[in-house]
Amino acid sequence: MFEKQVYNNRRTKLKATMKSGIALFLGNKEASFNYSANEYTFRQDSSFLYLFGIKLADFVGVIDFDEGKDYIFANDMDIADIIWMGHLPTIKEQAAQVGVEHSGSLADLEVFVKKSIALGRKIHFLPPYRATTFVQLSNLLGIKYASVKNYVSQELIQNMVKLRSIKEVIEIEEIEKALETAYEMHVTAMKMAKPGVKEQQIVGKMEGIASAAGGPVSFPIILTINGQTLHNHYHGNFLKEGRMLVADAGAETENNYCSDITRTVPVGGKFNDRQKAIYEIVLEANLEAAKIMKPNIFYKDVHLHAAKVITTRLKELGLMKGNVDEAVANGAHALFFPHGLGHMMGLDVHDMESYGENFVGYNHEIQRSTQFGTAYLRLGRRLETGFVVTNEPGIYFIPALIDKWKNEKINTEFINFELVENYKDFGGIRIEDDILITADGAKVLGKPIPKTIEEVEKIMNE
Ligand code: GLY
Ligand code: MN
| CA distances, 89 to each of 56, 77, 85, 266, 418 (Å) | 12, 9, 12, 51, 68
User: CA 76 from chain center: how many Å?
Assistant: 33
**Strand 222-224 relative to strand 388-391, pairing:** unpaired
What's the 83 CA to ligand 1 centre distance in angstroms? 40
Instruction: Specify the ligand 1 atom closest to the Cα of 250.
Output: 1
Q: Of 215, 1, 214, 28, which Cα lies nearest the Cα of 94?
A: 1
In this predicted structure, what is the pLDDT of residue 93?
97
What's the 102 CA to ligand 1 centre distance in angstroms? 39
Architecture of domain 169-460: Alpha-Beta Complex (3.90)
In the predicted model, what is the mean pLDDT of residues 117-124? 98
Residues of the chain with CATH 3.90.230.10: 169-460
CB atoms within 5 A of ion ligand 2 belong to 260, 390
As a whole number of angstroms, the distance between CA 332 and CA 324 comes to 9
Q: To test ligand 1's pocket by mutation, which of 217, 231, 341, 433 has the most ligand atoms within 8 angstroms of CB?
A: 231
Architecture of domain 4-165: 3-Layer(aba) Sandwich (3.40)
Q: Is 260 in the pocket of ligand 1 (CB under 6 A)?
A: yes
Q: To test ligand 1's pocket by mutation, which of 263, 392, 430, 431 has the most ligand atoms within 8 angstroms of CB?
A: 392
111 or 232, higher pLDDT = 111
In this predicted structure, what is the pLDDT of residue 87?
87
Q: pLDDT tens-digit profile of 237-251?
A: 999 999 999 999 999
**Strand 22-26 relative to strand 123-125, pairing:** parallel
If DSSP states are collapsed to H, E and C, what string results for 107-148?
HHHHHHHHHHHHCCCCEEECCCCCHHHHHHHHHHHCCCHHHH
Q: pLDDT tens-digit profile of 14-56?
A: 999 999 999 999 999 999 999 999 999 999 999 999 999 999 9
In this predicted structure, what is the pLDDT of residue 445?
98
Q: Indicate the average pLDDT of the chain.
A: 97
In this predicted structure, what is the pLDDT of residue 296?
98
Residue 85 has pLDDT above 90, yes or no: no
Q: Is 248 in the pocket of ligand 1 (CB under 6 A)?
A: yes
What's the 99 CA to ligand 1 centre distance in angstroms? 34
As a whole number of angstroms, the distance between CA 28 and CA 55 comes to 9
Q: Of 163, 148, 60, which Cα lies nearest the Cα of 105?
A: 60
Q: pLDDT tens-digit profile of 302-324?
A: 999 999 999 999 999 999 999 99
CA-proximal residue: ligand 1, atom 2 (nearest): 248
What's the 90 CA to ligand 2 centre distance in angstroms? 39
Q: pLDDT tens-digit profile of 203-250?
A: 999 999 999 999 899 999 999 999 999 999 999 999 999 999 999 999
Q: Of 355, 346, 353, 298, which Cα lies nearest the Cα of 155?
A: 355
As a whole number of angstroms, the distance between CA 21 and CA 153 comes to 11
Residue 166 has pLDDT above 90, yes or no: yes
What's the 260 CA to ligand 2 centre distance in angstroms? 5
Residue 161 has pLDDT above 90, yes or no: yes
Residues of the chain with CATH 3.40.350.10: 4-165
